[in-house]
Structure 1
Amino acid sequence: MEKRHNIALIGFMGTGKSTIGKKLATKLGYEFIDTDKFIEEYEDTSIKEIFSKYGESHFREKETEALTKIVQNTHQVISTGGGIILNAKNRKILMANCFVVHLTAKPRNIYFRIKNNKERPLLNTAHPERTIRQLLHKRYKYYRVCHYTIKTDVGNITSIVNNIAENYNNSTQLSGHKEVF
């Protein structure tokens, strides 16, 4: 595999993409990009507002537009939205332009990490923990489209960041990657 000069963090909301991404970018001297923040700045409105006014499909279109722009640059750690992998085009863009790292956590841990965040439009349900399990089940095969997977509910942030950096630096030695398109 040829060396990719971006790292993309994929995974469900609450798995640590932003927290780990910022520390990883600092460690590598890369720029940190959060696709959701990129969209909010570009659209001059919140993700919650986009979902509310235009619906999820419109937001997913904006994700693809943002990702296409973002990967034109290199030496970035890109924290993606949890559902960016639902679109086959996004999965292809990520795999072609990034070392893709899937961050995982147990559903219960995800719930406790995000239960007080009211900016999560997909979790505004009567049973958010059940919704997390359902969405994880639905997205599982797509999250497996990656070069590397790491659990974020085991170990500390520093060890996770170091582990990702080491695997990224050794990525030219990988024989391939998992693909589900």
Structure 2
Amino acid sequence: MSSNSPNVVLVGPMGSGKTSVGRRLACVLKRDFFDSDFEIVARTGVAIDHIFDVEGEQGFRKRETQMLADLYEIKNIVIATGGGVVIKVENREMLKHNSFVVYLSSTVEQLLKRTINSRSRPLLEQSSNREKTIRDLVSKRESLYQEVADVVIDTTGKKLYAIINEIKKAIPI
């Protein structure tokens, strides 16, 4: 891959595997990896659920937009985004330019299984019905993920190496 290759950006709902896939994909492509949520935590020094508590979702989304813009300044990297990055129009516009966007989709059942023990997902923590919350989020965001995606990879029931291979085949060289 040349240094002029576009950034590879992973989008999808929480639990779709963006961080796990992104970390491994970056190794395979010999690129640096950034998780936008981890970068927000590193920059602020507090957990995302704390940002939600203090600033609300709107405050977090503002930070998320700034982080995405900052990461886009770095070339030839792999970025895992937060599940809600597609909510804001300005983020979708950013995603559609100068990057190769991979939408990691998954069934609601698979997402629920992958997030069942998570304690660091504010939108799930505030919910008394995780399955309904995940179903509603996927329903609201599906068309937005599709809008920004250059390729859609269904991760349901797939091993990490199989997902990586599908992405590698799809990336324009």
The TM-score normalised by the length of structure 1 is 0.90
* Residue aligning to 2:165: 162
User: Where does structure 1 lack aligned partners over 5 or more consecutive residues?
Assistant: 173-181
* Residue aligning to 2:143: 141
* Residue aligning to 1:126: 128
* Residue aligning to 1:24: 25
SS at match of 1:12: coil
Supply the distance in 1 between the matched residues of 2:158 and 2:83 (Cα, whole angstroms). Answer: 22
SS at match of 1:102: strand
* Residue aligning to 1:86: 87
* Residue aligning to 2:10: 9
Supply the distance in 1 between the matched residues of 2:16 and 2:77 (Cα, whole angstroms). Answer: 19
Alignment of 1:27-66 (within 5 A): 27-66=28-67
Deviation at 1:70, TM superposition (A): 0.4
Supply the distance in 1 between the matched residues of 2:40 and 2:135 (Cα, whole angstroms). Answer: 26
Supply the distance in 2 between the matched residues of 1:68 and 1:166 (Cα, whole angstroms). Answer: 27
Q: How many residues align?
A: 168
Q: Percent identity?
A: 35
Alignment of 1:95-106 (within 5 A): 95-106=96-107
Deviation at 1:49, TM superposition (A): 0.4
Letter in structure 2 aligned against 1:108: E
CA RMSD of aligned residues (A): 1.1
SS at match of 1:96: coil
Deviation at 1:53, TM superposition (A): 0.8
Deviation at 1:138, TM superposition (A): 0.6
Deviation at 1:58, TM superposition (A): 0.4
The TM-score normalised by the length of structure 2 is 0.94
Deviation at 1:97, TM superposition (A): 2.2
Supply the distance in 2 between the matched residues of 1:166 and 1:140 (Cα, whole angstroms). Answer: 23
1:41-70 alpha-carbon deviations (Å, 9 max, x no partner): 111111010001110000000001001010
Residue pair 1:31, 1:76 contacting (<8 A) in 2 also: yes
Supply the distance in 2 between the matched residues of 1:138 and 1:87 (Cα, whole angstroms). Answer: 13
1:108-151 alpha-carbon deviations (Å, 9 max, x no partner): 11001111111111012111101100111011110102100001
Moved over 6 A (4+): none
User: Where does structure 2 lack aligned partners over 5 or more consecutive residues?
Assistant: none
Deviation at 1:4, TM superposition (A): 4.7
Residue pair 1:107, 1:133 contacting (<8 A) in 2 also: yes
